[in-house]
Structure 1
């Protein structure tokens, strides 16, 4: 496996998991504090304010979590490349 392919898999998986976890956390926070998050903002019973607030909040939080996920994956891969055991593992994966 090429190093770029490995990085793409690790980075994307980490960023995806971070985004999913933050979205679930945001849903629970909204339920307790503000309002029930809209499942479908297009419904007639959802106010514009709620739809826009939910869209902005979830977009910012999930976007930030994905960036943090990429950075954590990058740091982890760098740390793995520095260690002797990590170099052996990566050599096996890259073959």
Structure 2
């Protein structure tokens, strides 16, 4: 009988943990802001936001307004969440994050 090889447990590095927390924070923040933006749009514009701004049924004015508003709001929320997560982990653990690869969203 063959003995089963024990799998080595991979311990997360501080950089990996920081990347996971920052990405999770940014995702949650983006989702929350998107929901708030949808509600705000309905209140101000008196109709639902466009589901597909590229659709010919959506006016250019509405498509551009929605794209700019949602991009700016979600982008800022994600930035704030990532920086907040970095600051929190640095304060909690004393670990100062290095430069992350911006190509992959900091992961």
TM-score range, shorter chain: 0.7 to 0.9
Q: Which residue of the other structure, out of 86, 91, 96, is the alignment partner of 1:74?
A: 86
Task: Give the match for residue 64 of structure 1.
Answer: 76
Moved over 4 A (4+): none
Note the residue ranges of structure 1 that are not aligned, 5 or more in a row: 83-95
Q: TM-score, normalised by structure 2?
A: 0.72
Structure with the greater alpha carbon radius of gyration: 2
Matches within 5 A, 1:27-38: 27-34=38-45, 35-38=47-50
Q: Which residue of the other structure, out of 54, 62, 71, is the alignment partner of 1:42?
A: 54
Alpha-carbon separation, structure 2, partners of 1:50 and 1:73: 34
Q: Please, what is the CA RMSD of the aligned residues?
A: 1.1
Higher helix share: 1
Q: TM-score, normalised by structure 1?
A: 0.81
Note the residue ranges of structure 2 that are not aligned, 5 or more in a row: 1-11, 95-107
